[in-house]
Amino acid sequence: DTGVSQDPRHKITKRGQNVTFRCDPISEHNRLYWYRQTLGQGPEFLTYFQNEAQLEKSRLLSDRFSAERPKGSFSTLEIQRTEQGDSAMYLCASSSQNYGYTFGSGTRLTVV
């Protein structure tokens, strides 16, 4: 296992389009997190899964955002009707109860 994988690495989309990102966590980790990071800032929590259950969502996660983890393995984050303010790095992380968070390399979203 090579760590947390995210796809795509970069995405450029036109305002109003929908985008979907994928995260493959470390296989033995049952916990998965999505964060958003803008330039010069630390990552901000969006949502958290334990296995397939979405247990927590930040108020940053507007109605246009939806995340799933259907089989408790990979996860997807979809943004509908993208806005320029959605431009950011979207980071996925995973953990198990006894190990610290491991982050992926992120998906850089640019909305034009």
Partner 1 sequence: GESVGLHLPTLSVQEGDNSIINCAYSNSASDYFIWYKQESGKGPQFIIDIRSNMDKRQGQRVTVLLNKTVKHLSLQIAATQPGDSAVYFCAENMDSARQLTFGSGTQLTVLP
Q: Can you give the binding site for partner 1, defined by CB under 8 A?
A: 4, 6, 31, 33, 40-45, 48, 50, 56, 58, 91, 95, 97, 100-106, 108
Nearest-approach distance from CB 7 to partner 1, in angstroms: 13
Dmax (CA) of the chain: 41
Between 40 and 70, whose beta carbon lies closer to partner 1?
40
Between 37 and 80, whose beta carbon lies closer to partner 1?
37
Nearest-approach distance from CB 16 to partner 1, in angstroms: 27
Residue with tokens 């795509």: 8
Per DSSP (E only), the strands in the chain are: 5-7, 10-13, 19-24, 31-37, 44-50, 53-57, 65-68, 75-79, 88-95, 102-103, 107-111
Nearest-approach distance from CB 90 to partner 1, in angstroms: 10
